[in-house]
Amino acid sequence: MSAVIADLVDELRRILPADRTLDDPDVVAGYVRDEAVWAPHGQPVAVVRPRTADEVQQIVRACLRYRTPLVPRGAGTGLSGGANAVDGALVLSTEQMTAIREIDPTERLAVVEPGVINDTLRSACAQQALWYPPDPASAPWSTIGGNVATNAGGLCCVKYGVTRDYVLGMQVVTGTGDLVRLGRRTAKGVAGYDLAGIMVGSEGTLGVITEVTLRLRPAREPERTVAGYFDSLTAAGHAVAAIGAAGLTPSALELIDRHTLAAVDSWKKMGLSDEADAVLLGRTDAPGSAGDLEAEAMLACFTEAGATWAAISSDQEEADALFAARRLAYPALERLGPVLTEDVCVPRAAVPEMLARIENIGLQHDIVIANVAHAGDGNLHPMLIVPAGDTEARARAETAFEAILDEAIALGGTVTGEHGVGLLKRNGLTRELSAPVLAMQSAVKRALDPHGIFNPGKVIAPCTPLC
């Protein structure tokens, strides 16, 4: 450890309570990366776990004085390397900032610290007949701060939008060490540039979020579930396109392929993989007879697209089990070997073609690609699986990964719908965005992080040098 870094760690121990700064190598090792096992990471000098916004501000100011990179981290459930440490960095974990400060039923808003678990907030809101819609598959573990940093989506986003749609305001420590409030609490507000909006999806590269004010909705009606089995991914994709063409807006529309179903069955013994090459799960929360009509219309789309079996579920326990299988997809597939997870999003009409291209890429590169998708909004999650230790297969998978990004762009889509750019998709970002737009993004980074301390090397490449 250099003398400068040693001085920084000593100063942090002086200015913070005793349990906030950790530098035991065995402890620090648990904070060096997120769930993107193929993304590179460096070795941080220490981990700090503040409990208040004032402590975060002191940490940022110390990093500015010592020109030390700072990597903000939530629960580490990300899938793009966005929370991975760089050499010589300080990792700032928000895991101890877990207060739900306020739930206001009249204004329908919540004020929370960044370490609050998504499902914890949803449960607290439900007790007051309110609902926080964003529900990534990692909702039982991921934090609101991380959800904001990546603009997380989830199963409900097809109808109710992503995290950005629910962030009213926030408190942030800036790249100059100031503690500021951005956004608002009111239903409307257009005073100046939308700086809170810029922070959403910025992956910790523009500041450290210390509090978030979130819009809530009233509790919704019980959902009806429509399930369909298909003999190919492309046929399931045609059902997705048909639902969009029919003007239907399901509250969820999820796709699971045979590889994923088999992995879940192998792990949890749910008996789901015997009937189809692809399963499509639709839900509607429209009230009363409107919900019945929407469910029937979805069923018709499934059948007309060639479903080998389709039905409106009359068994809520069975319906919930199918959606539970969807949420278990990533951990189940991880058991088979290292997983390189995609996150492309294409127009809904292009879903069948994109699924066909993904299958073709898997065949071309001899890589097993399992597919799950938030199919209703075109957000596809191909997961490339290779045997552990097979370097040749890994190289083929990395080539296939980039090919999938290119095909998504070619179909008018984007390289990331909700996981973020992080480290894995920086090259894809440069292919998706024009040079003038990349320059605009770099200008924002320089303006808000003038010394380049926040999460260097992520999203925008090359990273801003520390100065």
CB atoms within 10 A of CB 127: 8
Task: Please tell me the distance from the alpha carbon of residue 187 to that of residue 209, in angstroms, as a whole number.
Answer: 21
Phi, psi of 13 (to 5 degrees): -70, -30
Over range 360-388, report the average pLDDT.
95
Over range 154-175, report the average pLDDT.
96
Phi, psi of 352 (to 5 degrees): -60, -45
With bands split at pLDDT 50, 70 and 90, how would you rate the model's confidence at 330? Answer: confident
Model confidence at 3: pLDDT above 80? no
Sign of the C-alpha dihedral, residues 254, 257, 258, 264? negative
Amino acid, single-letter form, for residue 347: P
pLDDT tens digits for 74-127? 999 999 999 999 999 999 999 999 999 999 999 999 999 999 999 999 999 999
Residue 312 confidence (pLDDT): 93
Residue 276 confidence (pLDDT): 80
pLDDT tens digits for 384-440? 999 989 999 999 999 999 999 999 999 999 999 999 999 999 999 999 999 999 999
* Residue 402 to residues 299, 393, 425, 429, Cα–Cα distance (Å): 35, 14, 9, 11
With bands split at pLDDT 50, 70 and 90, how would you rate the model's confidence at 323? Answer: confident
Mean pLDDT for all residues in the chain:
93
Torsion region of 183: left, alpha or beta (phi above 0 gives left; psi -120 to 50 gives alpha): left
Task: Please tell me the distance from the alpha carbon of residue 81 to that of residue 68, in angstroms, as a whole number.
Answer: 20
Task: Please tell me the distance from the alpha carbon of residue 383 to that of residue 217, in angstroms, as a whole number.
Answer: 33
Over range 370-391, report the average pLDDT.
93
Cβ contact 22:46 at 8 Å? yes
Cβ contact 162:152 at 8 Å? yes
Task: Please tell me the distance from the alpha carbon of residue 71 to that of residue 41, in angstroms, as a whole number.
Answer: 11
Task: Please tell me the distance from the alpha carbon of residue 160 to that of residue 55, in angstroms, as a whole number.
Answer: 35
Task: Please tell me the distance from the alpha carbon of residue 376 to that of residue 255, in angstroms, as a whole number.
Answer: 9
Task: Please tell me the distance from the alpha carbon of residue 78 to that of residue 419, in angstroms, as a whole number.
Answer: 7
Residue 328 confidence (pLDDT): 85
CB atoms within 10 A of CB 131: 17
Retrieve residue 463's tokens. 């990273």
* Residue 200 to residues 88, 144, 151, Cα–Cα distance (Å): 26, 11, 6
State which fold the 224-410 domain adopts: Vanillyl-alcohol Oxidase; Chain A, domain 3 (3.40.462)
With bands split at pLDDT 50, 70 and 90, how would you rate the model's confidence at 464? Answer: very low
List the chain domain ranges: 3-96, 100-218, 224-410
Model confidence at 318: pLDDT above 90? no
Cβ contact 93:146 at 8 Å? no
CATH 3.30.465.10 matches 100-218: yes
Over range 349-362, report the average pLDDT.
95
| Contacts with 389 (C-beta within 8 Å, 6 or more apart), sequence order | none
The three state secondary structure string of the chain is CCHHHHHHHHHHHHHCCCCCEECCHHHHHHHCCCCCCCCCCCCCCEEECCCCHHHHHHHHHHHHHHCCCEEEECCCCCCCCCCCCCCCCEEEECCCCCCEEEEECCCCEEEECCCCEHHHHHHHHHCCCEECCCECCCCCCCEHHHHHHHCCCECCHHHHCCHHHHEEEEEEECCCCCEEEEECCCCCCCCCCCHHHHHCCCCCCCCEEEEEEEECEECCCCCEEEEEEECCHHHHHHHHHHHHHCCCCCCEEEEEEHHHHHHHHHHHCCCCCCCCCEEEEEEECCCHHHHHHHHHHHHHHHHHCCCCEEEECCCHHHHHHHHHHHHCHHHHHHCCCCEEECCCECCHHHHHHHHHHHHHHHHHCCCEEEEEEEHHHCEEEEEEECCCCCHHHHHHHHHHHHHHHHHHHHCCCECCCCCCCCCCCHHHHHHHCCHHHHHHHHHHHHHHCCCCCECCCCCCCCCCCCC
CATH 3.30.43.10 matches 3-96: yes
Within 13 Å and on the Cβ side, how many CA atoms surround 409? 16
Task: Please tell me the distance from the alpha carbon of residue 182 to that of residue 408, in angstroms, as a whole number.
Answer: 34
67-104 per-residue burial string, b: 16 or more CB within 10 A, e: under 16: ebbbbbbbbbbbbbbbbbbbebbbbbbbbebbeeeebe
Over range 145-170, report the average pLDDT.
96
Model confidence at 301: pLDDT above 80? yes
CB atoms within 10 A of CB 225: 24
pLDDT tens digits for 33-80? 999 989 999 999 999 999 999 999 999 999 999 999 999 999 999 999
